[in-house]
Amino acid sequence: MNKMVAIVPARLCNDEGLKNKDILPFGKANLLVHKLRQLKQIDGLDIIVSSENDGIIEMARKEGATAIKRPAALAKSDTMFGDFVKYICEMVQQEHVMWACVTSPLITPSTYRDAAARYFSCLQDGFDSLVTVQRLQRYLMDEKGAINFRPGRNVTIKNQVKPIYIFTNGISIAPRKSLEKWKYTSGEIPYLYELDKRESIDICDAFDYECAKFFMGGSL
C-alpha cells in the first residue's frame, strides 16, 4: 500500500451561482476528470473521490480512481468540515493524506510531485503539514487606513511591504493521525508552498472559472 492518498472531494452544489461547480466543463472533460487525470500522473499516489452523487461516483471509477459514496449528511453546505475530515480519516489507511480540490485545476503534475517530496522533508524540519499559498505583496487597507505601508511622501516601496499569503485551497498534506486530532487539513505549523498566480487560481465564482478556462488554453 502506498503511504499517501489524494482525497478529491466532489459534490453537487450551487456555490456563488455556479451550479454543480465540481463537474463544470473544463479542458477536454470537466473539472473532476481533469483533476483525476493530473493526479494519475503521480507515481505512488492512491486516489479516492468522495461524493454523495452516483453520477460523480461512476465518473470517478471510469477514470480508475477509487470512489466512495459519502453520506448525504456530510455533503450539505452547512456540514461541519471537521466532521467530514473525521469521516475521511476513518475511511483511509494511508499514513499521509493529500487534499486535492478540483477547483484548483491549473496545478501541474510536476507541482504535485514536488509538493509531495517537499512535504516529507518539511516534516523532518519541524513543520506539521504543507499548504499551497499565493504570495501577496500589495498595499493593504482597512476601514481605519493603511495596514502594512506608510502613506504620504515617504510611502513604503511596494517590494518592501511585508507579504501576506493567500491560502489557495489547492494542496494540503498532513499525517492522517494528525488530521484526526485537528479535524482540519493542516496544522499550526504548516510549510507554505508558494504557487505562481496561474497555479493559484481557485474557482470560487464565475469570474475565477472564466480565468481558469482562459489560462488552460484547451490543453491538459
Which of the four pLDDT bands, split at 50, 70 and 90, describes residue 158? confident
Q: Residue 28 in contact with residue 120, Cβ under 8 Å?
A: no
Reading the block at residue 147, the C-alpha cell is 495596514
Per-residue confidence band for 14, with pLDDT thresholds at 50, 70 and 90:
low
Asked if the model's pLDDT at residue 211 lies above 80, the reply is: yes
The three-class DSSP label of residue 91 is: helix
Closest to 50 (Cα-Cα) out of 95, 15, 19, 81: 81
Please report the pLDDT score of residue 13 as a whole number.
Answer: 78
Strands 18-19 and 145-146: what pairing?
unpaired
Three-class SS state of 141: strand
* Over residues 1-10, mean pLDDT: 89
pLDDT surpasses 70 at 18: yes
Q: How far apart are CA 101 and CA 185, in angstroms?
A: 12
Instruction: Please state, rounded to an integer, the average pLDDT across all residues of the chain.
Output: 92
Q: Convert the pLDDT of each residue in 41-83 to its tens digit.
A: 999 999 999 999 999 999 999 999 999 999 989 988 889 999 9
**38: phi then psi, degrees, rounded to nearest 5:** -70, -50
Check residue 152 and give its pLDDT: 77
Terminal alpha carbon distance of the chain: 28
Residue 196 has pLDDT above 90, yes or no: yes
Q: What is the pLDDT of residue 16?
A: 62
Lowest mean pLDDT among 66-80, 98-112, 174-188: 66-80
pTM higher than the cut 0.75:
yes
Homologous superfamily of domain range 4-133+167-215: Spore Coat Polysaccharide Biosynthesis Protein SpsA; Chain A (3.90.550.10)
Residue 15 — very low, low, confident or very high, per pLDDT cuts 50/70/90?
A: low
Lowest mean pLDDT among 49-53, 99-103, 136-140: 136-140
